[in-house]
Amino acid sequence: MNNKTTSRRSLIKTLAGTAGLGLASSMNARLSAADSLMPSDINGKVNHSVCKWCYRDIALEDLCKAAVEIGLSSIELLSPNDFPTLNKYGLECAMVNGASGKFNITNGWNKKENHEGLVEFYLQRIDETANAGFKKIICFSGNRGESISDEEGLVNCAEGLKKIMNHAEKKKVTIVMELLNSKVNHPEYMCDHTNWGVELCKEIESDNFKLLYDIYHMQIMEGDVIATIKENHKYISHYHTGGVPGRNEIDETQELNYPAIIKAIVDTGYKGFVGQEFIPKRKDQLASLKQGVMICDV
């Protein structure tokens, strides 16, 4: 081994160490700044929300208190029995829970045998959502399975969803299908690419049916996040965050440039909510939530 090789390796190790210190320093600075975040610091370009399921160890009442202190205006993926607690704190539910139990992520609108039960459920949930003054309800395509193609599944979804769209339009409620990855988290989930979801929107032909573009899931499936958002934003009515890989904090520990992504969303004219849907790894989960809000408050 010559002196040049030794020097080069030493330089690389030094640079790597410096980069690591810089990363840690930057993360610590952001956490420190986030810790002092106040509602008055929110600039108003983004409506901030958080998904309750990511904070299972925090009671809804306590999360509501924290949300108000941070400057969030919504806690989402909740059901009607949770609405009184939200109302107590002046919070919205930017995305109301959809069907659960028998009908869920894996067993959804792409199977005709589910339509009767799903229609009954969603007609009632539309009324509950509208009566509470909220505007959006999540839904899912369901899994492919062995006997259903993407083409057939799209037709089935459109056929079933059209049965509730008149009521949704009348009540001014939007039905929102989430884009999920089928590579890591939800094997065989059908609505796993933006193009498929957009085609479903075109088939249904209602302004009250849109997509939930989950940035974490679509980075895994497609990448090219900003270009996809710019091209298809008119079909999207809600966004979720999450660090890739791992679905944890959205800071420098993962690969996505969230400030750039959120700025691109704002530049499309989007006025809806951005929901934090990462699972905090840090012990102080609310510090991570504050940090996520600050990163997205472009």
- State how far the Cα of 53 lies from the Cα of 75, in Å rounded to an integer: 10
Q: What is the DSSP string of 127-166?
A: HHHHHTT--EEEE---B--SS--HHHHHHHHHHHHHHHHH
Residue 275 sits in a domain whose CATH number is 3.20.20.150
Instruction: Considering only CA atoms, give the Rg of the chain.
Output: 21
Let me know if residue 265 belongs to a domain. yes
Strand-pairing partners, residue 273, are: 47
Q: Which amino acid is at 143?
A: N
Burial of 133 (0-12, 13-18, 19+ CB in 10 A): exposed
45 CB burial (10 A radius; 0-12, 13-18, 19+): middle
Domain boundaries, position 286: 38-296
Dump strand ranges (E) for the chain: 47-51, 74-76, 136-139, 174-178, 209-214, 236-240, 273-276
Euclidean distance between CA atoms 137 and 130, whole angstroms: 10
Query: And the tokens for 149?
Result: 């193609």
Along the 298 residues of the chain, how does pLDDT read in single tens digits? 554 444 443 443 343 444 444 444 444 444 444 455 555 577 879 999 999 999 999 999 999 999 999 999 999 999 999 999 999 999 999 999 998 899 999 999 999 999 999 999 999 999 999 999 999 999 999 999 878 999 999 999 999 999 999 999 999 999 999 999 999 999 999 999 999 999 999 999 999 999 999 999 999 999 999 999 999 999 999 999 999 999 999 999 999 999 999 999 999 999 999 999 999 999 999 999 999 999 999 9
233 falls within a domain? yes
Residue 185 belongs to some domain of the structure: yes
Q: Count the domains in the chain.
A: 1
Q: Please check whether residue 262 lies inside any domain of the structure.
A: yes
Is 5 inside any structural domain? no
Chain-centre distance of CA 131, in angstroms? 24
Is the residue at 12 inside a domain? Answer: no
User: What are the tens digits of pLDDT across the range 161-211?
Assistant: 999 999 999 999 999 999 999 999 999 999 999 999 999 999 999 999 999
Structural domain includes residue 18: no
- Strand partners of residue 137: 96, 175
Geometric angle at alpha carbon 140, from 121 and 176, rounded to 5°: 85
149, part of any domain:
yes
Long-range contacts of range 268-273, CB-CB < 8 Å, 24 or more positions apart?
268/229, 268/230, 268/233, 269/233, 270/233, 270/236, 270/239, 271/47, 272/47, 272/94, 272/237, 272/238, 272/239, 273/47, 273/48, 273/49, 273/73, 273/74, 273/76, 273/94, 273/95, 273/238, 273/239
* pLDDT given for residue 128 in this prediction: 98
Q: What is the pLDDT of residue 16?
A: 40
288 phi, psi to nearest 5 deg: -65, -40
